A = this chain, B = another copy of it.
Amino acid sequence: MNVSMELLDRAAAEEYASWFKALADATRIQIVSLLARRREPMSVGEIVAASGVGQSTVSHHLRILAEVRFVLVERRGTSSLYRINENCVSCFPTAADVVMGKPVPVAPACE
């Protein structure tokens, strides 16, 4: 048996890692937790006021969370409203998925 048969495919490993990277930062954890407590969408300004970090930093983290569809954004006039994507929360891979070799969920499919 070849060594490469033993190793998880590198591309698949990186896709898995990109999921976990999205939650591998304390500020992003706080943001998603905040969005989950308020059931309603929040504007960037509200998140900035609550999070204690700068506006550009919040915008940066929201973009990362939106890239994996963990949050959804809706433009409303001059403001952007962000909310948790429940579908993406439930398809987020678990540690058991990793060790069991479950196929990596594709972010855009979690709409």
* Chain A residues engaging chain B, CB cutoff 8 angstroms: 3, 6-8, 10, 13-14, 16-17, 20-21, 23-30, 32-38, 49-52, 70, 84, 88-90, 92, 94-96, 98-101
Query: Which chain B positions have C-beta within 8 A of A37?
Result: 6, 101
> Contacts A50-B3, A84-B99, A94-B94 hold; do A24 and B33 have CB atoms under 8 A apart?
no
Q: How many copies does the complex hold?
A: 2
The interface centre, meaning the residue of A16, A90, A96 with most chain B CB atoms within 10 A of its CB, is A16
> Contacts A23-B16, A89-B95 hold; do A34 and B7 have CB atoms under 8 A apart?
yes
Besides A13-B30, A16-B29, A17-B28, 20 new A-B residue pairs in contact (Cβ under 8 A), listed by A number: A3-B50, A3-B52, A6-B34, A6-B37, A6-B50, A7-B30, A7-B50, A8-B29, A8-B30, A8-B33, A14-B26, A21-B24, A23-B95, A36-B100, A36-B101, A89-B96, A90-B95, A90-B96, A92-B95, A92-B96
Instruction: Give me 15 A-to-B residue pairs in the complex whose CB atoms sit less than 8 angstroms apart, sorted by A's number.
Output: A3-B50, A6-B37, A7-B30, A7-B33, A13-B26, A13-B29, A20-B20, A23-B98, A24-B24, A36-B99, A36-B100, A36-B101, A37-B101, A89-B96, A89-B99
